[in-house]
């Protein structure tokens, strides 16, 4: 029963669209970066518990990619987030029109359907203070619910992190 519940939660999380936009410094040699750490004064905008969940999930993913967390890192990670309330792009259009000959007319009314969705934007930046400054950035946008249980929150962060690092390091044109 637990595994069925876990699969259902995972399916729901995966079906929630996570949008990711990437940018990077074209001249960066990503092979030179082997170790990382987070900025000490990082203000993520997340709750302390969500901050711990996100960092724990990111550490696990970065480790599988061959990167090591270090006190003397090659680069630092900065995380920022903001909640965006009230985005609702779905609506139903009701139209009335008519015409005769060369004359025509119409009327359309948009009626919003559903509830306003809460979305969270998370920005993850890789910064090399000794060379170029910021050299890689991913900005995600995904829906969330404030009162989700801790397991669901962690699963959401796993989905986000998987999506974010699916294109790291970027494939650069030679």
Instruction: Please give the pLDDT value at position 159.
Output: 96
As a whole number of angstroms, the distance between CA 97 and CA 88 comes to: 27
pLDDT on residue 154: 95
Ranges of the chain whose pLDDT falls below 50: 7-15, 174
pLDDT value at residue 8: 46
Domains and CATH numbers, the chain: 14-87+115-166 (3.30.160.670)
pLDDT at site 120: 92
Structure confidence at residue 79 (pLDDT): 97
pLDDT number for residue 129: 87
Rounded Cα–Cα distance for residues 68 and 123 (Å) = 21
What torsion, rounded to 10 degrees, do the Cα atoms 156, 124, 46, 16 define? -30
Q: pTM of the prediction?
A: 0.73
pLDDT digit string, tens, across residues 4-51: 555 444 444 444 589 999 999 999 999 999 999 999 999 999 999 999
Establish whether the linkage from the previous residue to 142 is cis, with ω within 30° of 0.
no
**Residue 131 DSSP class:** T
Which residues have CB under 8 Å from 4's CB, separation 6+? Answer: none
Output the six-digit token pair for 75: 């680069």
Backbone torsion region of residue 133, taken as left when φ is above 0, otherwise alpha when ψ lies between -120 and 50, otherwise beta: left
| pLDDT at residue number 44 | 94
Predicted local distance difference test score (pLDDT) of residue 132: 79
């Amino acid at each position: 029963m637990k595994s069925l519940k876990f699969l259902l939660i995972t399916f729901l999380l995966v079906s929630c669209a996570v949008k990711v936009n990437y940018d990077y410094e074209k001249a960066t040699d990503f092979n030179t970066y082997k170790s990382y750490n987070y900025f000490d004064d990082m203000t993520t905008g997340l709750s302390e518990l969500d901050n711990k969940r996100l960092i724990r999930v990111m550490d696990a993913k970065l480790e599988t990619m061959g990167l090591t967390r270090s006190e003397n890192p090659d680069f630092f990670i900065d995380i920022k987030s903001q909640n965006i309330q009230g985005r609702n792009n779905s609506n139903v259009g009701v139209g009335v029109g008519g015409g005769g000959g060369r004359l025509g007319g119409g009327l359309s009314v948009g009626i919003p359907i559903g509830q306003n969705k809460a979305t969270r934007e998370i920005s993850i930046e890789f910064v090399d203070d000794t060379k170029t400054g910021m050299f890689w950035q991913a900005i995600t946008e995904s829906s969330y619910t404030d009162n989700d249980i801790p397991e669901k929150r962690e699963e959401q962060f796993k989905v986000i992190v998987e999506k974010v690092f699916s294109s790291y390091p970027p494939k650069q044109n030679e």
